[in-house]
Chains A and B, each alone.
Chain A
């Protein structure tokens, strides 16, 4: 088979490349499956980011609250989620927890990654909150604002600004972490690329294409986060 491949394959590298692109991306509209995979990746990542930020904020507030029981719940959550691999968690959600419910893979993946990310986002937020000077809370409270309003209008906006670089890092990691959803039978960008590879026995074009797509998405995200950060830093300019 290798011999026939060599015999029929074009000789120069550019002819070889265009041949592989034709076979790996164009033939049977294979590029379409890569784009579908990218769509799945983005859906899982976006859902998980929203869920993760919500859970993370909630956990962070629980951790800094004065109620021991809330602190304990938050600490236990962090311990379990950070103490086990995310792949295993995904498998447990899919094969154990949600198996009787018939919930779709997309939702299970969003829950798995969101719950996982929440633990890390919690610590990012907590760090951001702790970095806000205690005098800010005192100023807010001394003006007669309630604890909740002081947190919401004074502490959290500053905490979010502190947390943004780490938060962006977490989003970027999350997008790439979703490449394991193939374990529960989803066809995301990574899996789609590998499926083309196993059909054509030509790994180069589909795998590199997938890499370029991941890189492109993350570059756009990095740029968006950067401009958001510049906007939030407006008040730091002398």
Chain B
């Protein structure tokens, strides 16, 4: 469970996140939508402290991760993150990408890590690419490897930062399918996305962020069928889906 309490982030004079409070319970699939620059990515990146909040607290399983003495590496091992631009390690093979962190953090021995990695690659349909280098993969394949790489640490929470925004349209589906499978298995997920179909089908709750605050939230049905605030109505009208 993640509790966000009065989260604020500012760069100089610009306030990106303004006093955000949220509770994300286990098994929830929280989808964050909103116009660009609304702070959704920053919100997500604060959850595993890739961005350091300037105010407020974030509790992950009752541990305050913003506290100085917290071992943030241990917290991050429980939270996988998938990036818009994949960020695969180009000097490692696909298998090497998956085994590096489990081995180096001491989570698994090398042979166990390789076995787990092959299972995960099977699951995302890329077992035959184990010895390929990232540069040899398509965008969709890269992102599936990136998801598998995060899963290799056996996280309990997965954070997705616009995972399909950098993909060619025909590759979006294969990545969303993997994410749907994860959702079915009960993984706790926080997804920043522009895929409104995905948000509606998979999300258990939708947050609409605008100008650094959560302007509206609710079930997908409430948010998409019956938007209350003018900004959300405008946002939904302006995108085609």
Contact = CB atoms under 8 A, between A and B. Distances in A.
A14 B218 CA distance: 96
Contact of A141 (B76, B89, B91, B133): B76
A198 interface: no
Give the interface centre of A133, A144, A154 by most chain B CB atoms within 10 Å: A144
Contacts of A144: 73-77, 101, 105, 153
B194 interface: no
Contacts of B93: 235
Give the interface centre of A135, A139, A157, A234 by most chain B CB atoms within 10 Å: A139
B144 to A, nearest CB: 15
Interface stretch (B80-88, B109-117, B203-211, B230-238): B80-88
A136 B89 contact: yes
A133 B149 contact: no
A131 interface: no
Nearest to B133: A235
Interface string A135-147: 1101111111110
B98 to A, nearest CB: 10
A138 B83 contact: yes
B37 interface: no
Contact of A139 (B74, B87, B135): B87
A145 B149 CA distance: 13
Contact of A143 (B74, B134, B135, B150): B150
A136 B83 CA distance: 10
Contacts of A237: 133, 135-136
A236 B1 CA distance: 41
A120 to B, nearest CB: 25
A161 interface: yes
A161 B91 contact: yes
Contacts of B186: none
Nearest to B82: A142
A81 B104 CA distance: 38
Contact of B135 (A153, A232, A236): A236
B60 to A, nearest CB: 13
Contact of B83 (A135, A235, A238): A135
Q: Is the interface of B mostly helix, strand, loop or mixed?
A: mixed
Contact of A238 (B73, B79, B92, B136): B136
Contacts of A142: 48, 50, 76, 79-81, 150
B83 A139 contact: yes
Contacts of A138: 50, 81, 83, 87
Contacts of B136: 237-238
A157 B90 CA distance: 10
A149 interface: yes
A158 interface: yes
B90 A158 contact: yes
B100 interface: yes
Interface in B36-93: 48, 50, 73-77, 79-81, 83, 85, 87-93
A146 B134 CA distance: 23
Interface string B113-151: 000000000000000000001111000000000100110
Interface in B144-178: 146, 149-150, 153
A135 B135 contact: no
Contacts of A143: 76-77, 80, 100-101, 105, 149-150, 153
A133 B87 contact: yes
Contacts of A238: 135-136
Nearest to A158: B91
B89 A154 contact: yes
A141 B90 contact: no
15 contacts: A133-B87, A136-B89, A141-B73, A143-B76, A143-B80, A143-B153, A144-B101, A145-B73, A146-B73, A235-B90, A235-B134, A236-B133, A236-B135, A237-B133, A238-B135
Given A143-B80, A143-B100, A235-B135, 14 more contacts: A133-B87, A136-B89, A138-B81, A139-B81, A142-B80, A143-B105, A143-B149, A143-B153, A149-B104, A154-B89, A158-B91, A236-B90, A236-B133, A237-B136
